[in-house]
A = this chain, B = another copy of it.
Amino acid sequence: MALIVQKFGGSSVADRERIFHVARIVAGTFNEGHRVVVVVSAQGDTTDELLEKAGRISTHPAVRELDMLLATGEQISIALLCMALGELGVRAVSLTGWQAGFRTDRLHTRARIRRLDTERICSELDKNQVVVVAGFQGLDSCEDITTLGRGGSDTSAAALACALGAQRCCIYTDVDGVYTADPRIVPMAHKLEQISFDEMLELAGVGAQVLHGRSVEMARRWGVPLEVLSSIQPGSGTLVTEVCSMEGMQIKSVAVQKNVSVLSVAAAQRSLQPLLAVLSAQAVPVKQVLQCGAGEQQLQAQLLLEDAAAQQAKAALEARFDVLQLQKLEVREDVAFLSLVGSGLGEDAGALPQLLAALSDIGQYPDLITAGEVRISVLIDRSAAAEAVRSVHVAFFENDNENNTV
């Protein structure tokens, strides 16, 4: 008998039929004799509908009240799923985030989990029933309801799996695993049986939308295997675990992120630090420093940011143009960030030339390249993103070389 955490996203519980479908998956696991903790998100478009309600009243609602509002979405889902489990003859009890013991910091709409008091969950599990927990939400030190922000429900599930010492944390999504490339772009892409936490983290960071980095980071820290699998098609998915790569290079997946911009800056002083401090103070997330060259009295740097963040960053830096001794401040939006993720990439000098060859085949000659142990990334034209992924996929995963083994 194992303890298993199962997480289902909003589209998986969008209506009556899907709720019952999820209930049957949960019931199947429970009836095999396992202890089951289920985490669910808000139904379908509920969160958007609630945001719209708020938007009609205020353009900048208080974040505390926004969390109070948004937290109702998951609360509806957990109650309905428990009712459906009841209809299938499975005893189940729903718990809100605070009932389940999630204690967070006070950063409304993007709270971080500080601790998880598992007493209540454990006592409910001891009653031989499924426990259904509202994802995405917690309670801060003032007993105010908080929400975890992006990837929140995945994070809730991973945190529960870690705190309860679960054997596995199963993340059910609308895809059946992690692929060598996005199957919507590359029809020949195939599913990976396994991937390491590091590889998954890199993939999540560069555009693969299967899992959010926060949940992967948490699972890695506590050593709890994650499984990404389909809530629609039965069968196994992709297992994300501690170690799975043997020696030598293994390319796992190619991903492309299109909603990114490059912010180019030049300044009449040497350090990037004061610029980053300004962005950090305004909570503008910089994805990556692509390039940074500093002369004696001069700085040249290229930063990768998501499109909206790039505009925020530009405005924030422009407001201090003189103080920061800036000379140039430019945003390039017509770019995409293509990444090859795997392991041992640094040992084998062949991956980067092979990648560049695949790109030159379609007329792309990247001017910015970053290469490390587990990821090689290049900046290409946004309009060529899909074609580039297909070309790279052919080169690395559809030839008879050894790299496409999993």
Contact = CB atoms under 8 A, between A and B. Distances in A.
Given A68-B94, A143-B120, A16 B84 contact: no
Main secondary structure of the interface of A (DSSP, over half): helix
Given A16-B57, A68-B94, A143-B99, A62 B86 contact: yes
Contact of A64 (B20, B57, B61, B93): B93
Nearest to A76: B72
A65 B53 contact: no
A83 B71 contact: no
A256 to B, nearest CB: 38
A58 interface: yes
Contact of A56 (B16, B56, B143): B16
A61 B75 contact: no
Contacts of A87: 57-58
A82 interface: yes
Quickly give the copy total for this chain: 2
Interface residues of A, number: 36
A78 interface: yes
A54 interface: yes
Interface string A266-295: 000000000000000000000000000000
A57 B94 contact: no
A402 to B, nearest CB: 51
Interface in A47-93: 50, 53-54, 56-58, 61-62, 64-66, 68-69, 71-72, 75-76, 78-80, 82-84, 86-87, 93
A77 to B, nearest CB: 10
A85 B38 CA distance: 37
Nearest to A53: B80
Given A99-B143, A120-B143, A68 B79 contact: yes
B65 A69 contact: no
A84 B57 CA distance: 6
Given A68-B75, A72-B76, A83 B54 contact: yes
A78 to B, nearest CB: 7
A57 B93 contact: no
Contacts of A76: 50, 53, 69, 72
A19 interface: yes
**Residue among A53, A54, A79 with the highest chain B CB neighbour number at 10 A:** A79
Contact of A65 (B64, B83, B96, B143): B83
A79 B99 contact: no
Contacts of A64: 93-94
B83 A78 contact: no
8 contacts: A20-B57, A50-B76, A57-B87, A58-B86, A65-B80, A65-B82, A96-B145, A120-B143
Shortest beta-carbon contacts, A-B, top 10: A69-B79, A72-B72, A68-B79, A61-B83, A65-B79, A58-B83, A65-B82, A57-B83, A16-B56, A72-B75
Given A64-B94, A69-B76, 20 more contacts: A16-B56, A50-B76, A53-B76, A54-B83, A57-B83, A58-B83, A58-B86, A58-B87, A61-B83, A61-B86, A62-B83, A62-B86, A65-B79, A65-B83, A68-B75, A68-B82, A69-B75, A72-B72, A72-B75, A99-B144
